[in-house]
Structure 1
Amino acid sequence: MEARHWREGRVRVLYDTALAQPPAHWWFDPVELERQGLVTGRGGGRGSVVFFRAPETAEEESPGDPKQWVLRHYMRGGTIARALGDRYLWQGLQETRPWQEWHYTARLYDEGLPVPRPVAGRVVRLGPTYSADLITVRVPGGRSLDENLGEDGVSDATWRAVGACIRRFHDAGHWHPDLNSRNILIDPEGKIWIIDWDRGEHRPESTADWRRANLQRLKRDLEKRLRIRERWVYSEACFSALIAGYEGICSR
């Protein structure tokens, strides 16, 4: 993937050169997307995610579902959110969250790993701080592991597929900073995707320590959801199937 960017006043926008047109300001504006009838849904723990029809395909009359994108507004979590909300400290353009996530996700995409293709990122600078957004292609029909476990659960084969998918990223040296059930997607064909690579890192020294810690983080998330969710189809056997997939152990 190749990237370009444009600047207008306090706004910088990074985008994929394969786009039919450079991104407009309103692509990052949920109100304007809603006004144009492009919004198809919303999500995100803090209401920061908007699903919408890609503007460049909005006028197409081809059958089937048009291509959809995901707009995510970067929001802080924890106690610091009370003070800064959606603001981040400006330390240079290349250090901004969308610039880093766009380029890192593009790298993963170019390596053939199952991540959504990054579309565009925006930074709006305000003095010593900035706010930010990222647009990616939506995985067609993708539903999070969290959604699936909150309904009927998933099969052992799917748990093994999740483990095998994580192993692909680990073997390539890629560490996900927030590996949890909301960032793992399952599409209608059963393919596993891993999303939201904000602050992702490449760790060429593929030692067992960080891999094990990454898996344990996911396990803690699954166990926490089991405690707090009214319905959650999960047991220790599920994670054992995931580990079997990770280690390449196939059931007979």
Structure 2
Amino acid sequence: MQKRISTENKNEVIWFDAARFPYFPIEWFDSAYLAQNALLTGSAGGRGTTYFFHVNDTDLVLRRYKRGGLPGKLLNDQFWYLGLSRTRAWRELSLLLQLNELNLPAPVPVAARVVKHGFYYQSDIITERLASAKDVHNLLLQSALTPSEWEKIGRTIRQFHDCQVYHHDLNIHNIMMNDQGRIFLIDFDKCGFKHGEKWKQANLSRLLRSLRKESQRCEHYFFEEEDWNNLINGYNSHPLK
């Protein structure tokens, strides 16, 4: 990744994949600019809005880091600045680069930005959009997954766990499946490598709670406890085939 300090704003730092984008326009971090220039292709809600856009024959995803809970109501997208290496954008960008080196099914990082304002900063990250992939939560709103698809989810999670990758927010919204049935994990904010084994069961339990929560919340949700058994069977049958 190449690092560039904006000449217009000395407090703005951008990292980008110079091999693919010799020059990375700052405007690509601006959703209003993307909309005005007909580059946006869609958006998705959540803690903050995620924007999908298309440039240079590439589909990309822009995400602004947001706070959750009560702090989010007060500061929204502002974080205490403790150095570039401790910013949310740089930490996730660095982790995604490592995950890709390990050939784990995660998004490909393209660029990240940090803008410092005194003691606080704001940050964004841009990744490649996973072609034809949909989050499994939305798939379950439409139809049931097959036992083999649940097993694939379990085997994919095991791939990350075997590499000691801890996903801070392993829930059904952060699991994607493409048209070929390949499974991906997304949203690696506040994630990282973690020693030991005990946390892995807690990670799986978090995912089960999210499935049960959505099943109770949604009138039509295609999840049964047997589906979870299939996922665990896949998790225990690693390696992925």
**TM-superposed deviation, 1:219:** 0.3
State how far apart, in whole Å, the 2-side matches of 1:174 and 1:33 are. 33
Dislocated runs of 4+, deviation >3 Å: none
- State how many pairs are aligned: 236
Aligned counterpart for 2:202 among listed residues 213, 233, 237:
213
After the TM superposition, which residues 137-148 of structure 1 pair with which residues of structure 2 at under 5 Å, given as runs? 137-148=128-139
DSSP 3-state at the match of 1:189: coil
Q: Per-residue CA shift, 1:94-146, capped at 9, x if unaligned?
A: 10000000000110011100011000001111111111100000000100011
TM-score by length of 1: 0.90
**2:122 matched to which residue of 1?**
131
**Structure-2 change in CA distance of 1:99 and 1:143 (3 Å):** same
Alignment gaps of 5+ in structure 1: 58-65
Q: Is the 8 A contact 2:54 2:60 kept in 1?
A: yes
Q: Per-residue CA shift, 1:1-51, capped at 9, x if unaligned?
A: xx1211122211111232232321101001111111110000031442000
After the TM superposition, which residues 56-205 of structure 1 pair with which residues of structure 2 at under 5 Å, given as runs? 57=56, 66-205=57-196
TM-score by length of 2: 0.94
**1:6 matched to which residue of 2?**
4
Aligned counterpart for 2:234 among listed residues 230, 245, 248:
245
Q: Is the 8 A contact 1:12 1:124 kept in 2?
A: yes
How high is the sequence identity, in percent, across the aligned residues?
A: 34
Alignment gaps of 5+ in structure 2: none
State how far apart, in whole Å, the 1-side matches of 2:108 and 2:116 are. 25
**1:25 matched to which residue of 2?**
26
Q: Is it true that 1:227 corresponds to 2:210 in the alignment?
A: no
**TM-superposed deviation, 1:230:** 2.4
DSSP 3-state at the match of 1:76: coil
Instruction: Provide the alpha-carbon RMSD of the alignment.
Output: 1.4
Q: Per-residue CA shift, 1:206-240, capped at 9, x if unaligned?
A: x2x11100000000011111111122111111111
State how far apart, in whole Å, the 1-side matches of 2:144 and 2:33 are. 37
